[in-house]
Amino acid sequence: MNLARLCAERAEQGRPVRAGLIGAGKFGSMFLSQVPTIDGLEVTAIADLDIDRAHAACRSVGWTDDRIATVAFEEDGSVLAARDDVEVVIEATGNPRAGIAHALAAIDAGKHIVMVNVEADVLAGPALARRARAAGVVYSMAYGDQPALVSEMVDWARAAGFAVAAAGKGTKYLPDYHKVTPDDVWAHYGLTPEQAAQAGMNSQMFNSFLDGTKSAIEMAAIANACGLNVPAAGLGFPPCGVDDLAHVLRPRDVGGRLERSGMVEVVSSVERDGRPVFRDLRWGVYVILEAPNDYAAACFRQYGLPTDDTGRFAAMYKPFHLIGLELSISVLSAALRGEPTGQAGEMRGTVAAVAKRGLTAGEMLDGEGGFTVWGRLMPAAEARDVLPIGLAHGVRLTRSVGEGAVLRWNDVVLGEDDVVALYREALSG
């Protein structure tokens, strides 16, 4: 890849790549932990609503007082984006509205933007990417997170001449998880509320991983970046281990679970009765290749790729992802190559807000991972009047809806603003 060499050259020239981090949570902290060992990369500014937390994050990952003293700390991410000593902005807040605002501020200031905030990307990624290109800067997914890793695998497959039958990730899933709330989430992780509190774990964030919302958001991001399709009925979460990926994740007309070739899907690490899947892919990502000819199919077998019974579909997978520990790849790629590590191109999928229980008129929705709604992946072409999960926080219902109902724009009080306009722009293409 040569990124390390290019980065070292910048160090030798006395002009290291200068990054600014917005959001000093877990993802950001993992990135900060790596910075001291990357010659030619510096963090010059960190923005967080809680400056004390940002300082604590630096100390917790082993930064010395001398290194911390070289960093400017800001409360406002937009102020950080405008700083002259920042060339790459990392948006890691997890708040979709804040993420979009920070991305626009970075683009307006002529800075590259690495969007850790997948929630923001699935709301406005295509529109933000267009604005970045027009401004001559890079808008990029965050390497280390699953959508960017899958995008890399899909790009590799296509560049090598293979069709992509499926791509996605693994997770732990059971159908009842869609109803889980922050009050009962910790039992599913084998923790007590007290243990989670001591570890500083946020119940709503971790619940979004469990109730299916985060999986839907990440698969929408992959579909939008890779031009893949999303299942009409939402993610199926079929139980599947790595040895069976090529059998399960192929089109139905040849014996698989997919509607057709070229889909995103998430596989579960547990069977529907709760038994563990053999050799599961809970922490990993995958791509299913389709051989373009008999010769390539024969090579799959000859070189040890796990295939289906036809020999034409083969699985490649990575059993882990290291999120923030790998984030520097995106920062350096943007600054040194002018290339994103994955980028939204068009809205193939979006994530609808679905009622977790019967909701009554006047109730306030609490968004991703909360008590009221979970996120279901759906084709963007069918979502013109559907309320996306990213806009389902802090809005009031205008009418009562039943459990499992997909919420619509006219079900809530939500005025037009810049974020809503960007989502509509992205959705319309």
Residue 285, burial from CB neighbour count under 10 angstroms (0-12, 13-18, 19+) = buried
Cα pseudo-dihedral 393, 399, 400, 404, rounded to 10: -60
Strand duo 373-379 + 412-413: pairing: unpaired
CA–CA dist 327, 31 (Å, integer): 6
Secondary structure E strands in 245-380: 263-268, 285-290, 313-318, 349-355, 364-366, 373-379
Entry pTM: 0.96
- The residue assigned the tokens 């922490």 is 283
Q: Is the pLDDT of residue 135 over 70?
A: yes
Secondary structure E strands in 36-171: 41-47, 72-74, 88-91, 112-115, 139-141, 163-171
Lowest mean pLDDT among 46-55, 403-412, 413-422: 413-422
Lowest mean pLDDT among 81-95, 114-128, 187-201, 252-266: 187-201
Q: What is the structure's pLDDT at 1?
A: 66
CA–CA dist 217, 120 (Å, integer): 10
Q: What is the structure's pLDDT at 263?
A: 98
Give the domain ranges of the chain.
Answer: 3-144+324-337, 147-173+212-320, 349-428
Q: Is the pLDDT of residue 201 over 90?
A: no
- What is the arithmetic mean of pLDDT over 190-213? 88
Q: What is the structure's pLDDT at 341?
A: 98
Pick from 114, 97, 107: nearest CA to 332? 114
Domain 3-144+324-337 has CATH 3.40.50.720: yes
Cα pseudo-dihedral 398, 399, 401, 405, rounded to 10: -50
* Exposed e or buried b per residue across 14-42, where buried means at least 16 C-beta atoms within 10 angstroms of its C-beta: eebbbbbbbbbbbbbbbbbbbbeebebbb
- What is the arithmetic mean of pLDDT over 32-38? 97
Region for 168 from its dihedrals, namely left if φ exceeds 0, alpha if ψ lies in -120 to 50, beta otherwise? left
Which H/E stretch holds residue 423? helix 418-428
Residue 30 CA, distance from chain mean position: 16
- What is the arithmetic mean of pLDDT over 161-167? 98
Contact predicate 188/162, CB 8 Å: no
**How high is the mean pLDDT of the chain?**
96
54-85 confidence digits (pLDDT tens): 999 999 999 999 999 999 999 999 999 999 99
- What is the arithmetic mean of pLDDT over 382-409? 96
334-393 confidence digits (pLDDT tens): 999 999 999 999 999 999 999 999 999 999 999 999 999 999 999 999 999 999 999 999
Pick from 306, 414, 295: nearest CA to 365? 414
Q: Which residues pair with 386 in a beta bridge?
A: 408
Pair of tokens at residue 246: 């090529």
Q: Is the pLDDT of residue 199 over 90?
A: no
pLDDT confidence bin for 324, thresholds 50/70/90? very high
CA–CA dist 88, 82 (Å, integer): 11
Tell me the backbone φ, ψ of residue 299, rounded to 5 degrees: -65, -35
139-158 confidence digits (pLDDT tens): 999 999 999 999 999 999 99
Which of the following CATH numbers is that of domain 349-428: 3.20.20.70, 3.10.20.30, 3.40.190.80, 3.90.1210.10? 3.90.1210.10
Contact predicate 117/91, CB 8 Å: yes
Q: What is the structure's pLDDT at 363?
A: 96
CA–CA dist 233, 230 (Å, integer): 9
Q: What is the structure's pLDDT at 288?
A: 98
87-134 confidence digits (pLDDT tens): 999 999 999 999 999 999 999 999 999 999 999 999 999 999 999 999
Contact predicate 334/143, CB 8 Å: no
Strand duo 285-290 + 263-268: pairing: unpaired
- What is the arithmetic mean of pLDDT over 158-174? 97
Q: What is the structure's pLDDT at 145?
A: 96
Half-sphere CA count of 247, side-chain side, radius 13 A: 8
